[in-house]
Chain A
Amino acid sequence: MTEMLAFWAAALVAGILGLPISFAMLRRLPDAGAALAMPFGLVLAGYLYFIFRVVGLLPFGRGGYLLALVLLALISCAVAGRDRRFLSTLRRTGPALTVVAGVFTCGFFAYVAFRSYNAEISGTEQPMDFMYLNATLTSKDYPPKDPWMAGEKASYYYFGYLQAGVLTSVADVVPSTGYNLFLAYTFGAAAAAIASLGYAFARWTLGSRAQRWALAAGGLAVGMLLLVGSLSAIFEWSAAHGEYNRTLYETMGVEWMIPCRAGQNQDCYSGPLNPRTTAWYPTEFWFWWRGTRIIPNTITEFPFFSFLLGDMHPHVMSIPLVLLSLGLSAAVWRGRRMLRFRSHIREPAAGLALAVVFGGLAFENAWDILTFTGVLALAVLARNLRAAARGGDDTGGRGAATLAALAYLGPVLALAVVLYVPWYRDFSSQASGFEAYVGKGTRPPHAFMQFGPILLAGLMVVTWAFRRTPRGLILDAGMGTLWVPMLPFGLWLAMVEFQGDLSAAVDARSAGGWVTLLAYGLIVWLLTTAAVVLFLRRSAAAPVAAVCALGALLIFGAELFYIRDIFAGVTPRLNTVFKLTYQAWMLLSLGGAVAVVAALRQAWTRRAASGWLAAPVCVVVAAGLVYPLTAAANRTEGFQKDTALDGNAFLARTNPDEYALTRWVREHTDPGAVIIEASGRKWAANNDQKPQVIDGNVDYSDAARISQRTGRSTPIGWFFHEIQWRGDTAAVRNELERRQDLVDRVYTDPNPTVVLEALRQLGAHYVVLGELETGVSARYPATTMAPFAQFLDVAFQSGPYRVYELPAYRVVHTS
Chain B
Amino acid sequence: MNPELTAVAPESERPEALFSISVSAIAWAVTTAGFLLLRLGTIWHTPVGGAELVHLSGAWQARIGVADDRFVPTLFQALTTLLLHISDSAIPARIVAFAATATIPAAVWFLRPRLGEAGALIALLLLAFDGPAISLGTSASAMGFDLAIAAWLFVAIGRKGLRPWTWAAIGFLVATAGPIPLVLALGAGGVALARREYPDRQAAAWGAGGAIVGNLAASARFGMGFDGGLRVPPFALFAASFDQMWSTANSLEITALYVAPVVAAGLAAAVLLGVRLRRRGAAEAHDLVLLAWAGVALLWLLVSGTAHSPAPVVALTLPLALLAGPALAEGVDAMVRADWRYARFLVPIALFAAAIALVFMLTWARNGQATDNGEKLLVTVLLLLALVALGAACWERRAVAALLAPALVIGVPLFVSAGMGVSFSSSGEPVPSPVSPVQARQLRDTALQLAHEHGGLIVVHERFAEEMTWPFRDSGDIVVASRVPGDASVVVWPKDLPRPDGYNAVDVSWNLLLEPDVPTDGFLAYLKWLSDRASLGRSEVPATVYVKASQ
Contact = CB atoms under 8 A, between A and B. Distances in A.
Interface of A: 55-64, 66-67, 70, 73-74, 77-78, 80-82, 170, 172, 793, 805, 807-815
B272 interface: no
Given A70-B186, A74-B189, A814-B476, A170 B194 contact: no
B232 interface: yes
Given A57-B230, A172-B306, A814-B476, A63 B235 contact: yes
A59 B235 contact: yes
Given A81-B195, A815-B64, A815-B473, A59 B236 contact: yes
Given A63-B242, A809-B483, 5 more contacts: A64-B239, A74-B193, A793-B483, A812-B460, A814-B477
5 contacts: A77-B190, A81-B195, A808-B481, A809-B485, A813-B65
B476 A63 contact: no
B509 interface: no
Given A56-B230, A77-B193, A807-B483, A815 B239 contact: no
B196 interface: yes
Contacts of A58: 235, 239
A63 B480 CA distance: 31
A807 B482 contact: yes
Given A172-B303, A808-B462, A815-B475, A63 B186 contact: no
B186 A814 contact: no
B480 A810 contact: yes
Nearest to B65: A813
B76 interface: no
A62 B460 CA distance: 32
Contacts of A808: 462, 480-482
A78 B196 CA distance: 7
A805 B482 contact: yes
Interface in B276-331: 296, 303, 306
Contact of B478 (A64, A67, A73, A814): A814
B303 A66 contact: yes
A82 B473 contact: no
B239 A59 contact: yes
B482 A57 contact: no
A776 to B, nearest CB: 31
Interface SS majority for chain B: mixed
A793 B460 CA distance: 16
B239 A61 contact: yes
Given A810-B480, A812-B478, A812-B480, A81 B303 contact: no
Interface of B: 64-66, 186, 189-191, 193-196, 229-232, 235-236, 238-243, 296, 303, 306, 460, 462, 465, 469, 472-483, 485
B321 to A, nearest CB: 23
A813 B479 contact: no
Given A82-B196, A805-B482, A807-B482, A61 B243 contact: yes
A809 B483 CA distance: 8
B506 to A, nearest CB: 20
B281 to A, nearest CB: 12
Contacts of A80: 194
B306 A811 contact: no
8 pairs of A and B residues whose beta carbons are closest in the complex:
A63-B239, A59-B239, A56-B230, A78-B193, A77-B193, A808-B482, A808-B462, A815-B474
B243 A63 contact: yes
B482 A60 contact: no
Contacts of B306: 172
Contacts of B189: 74, 77
A81 B243 contact: no
A490 B240 CA distance: 61
A16 to B, nearest CB: 12
A813 B477 CA distance: 5
Nearest to A141: B229
A66 B240 CA distance: 12
A496 to B, nearest CB: 54
Of A62, A77, A793, A814, the most chain B CB neighbours within 10 A belong to A814
A57 B232 contact: yes
Nearest to A806: B482
Contacts of B194: 77-78, 80-81
A260 B186 CA distance: 70
A56 B462 CA distance: 30
A814 B474 contact: yes
Nearest to A10: B303
Contacts of B474: 814-815
Nearest to A6: B303
A812 B479 contact: yes
Given A63-B235, A807-B483, A55 B230 contact: yes
B235 A57 contact: yes
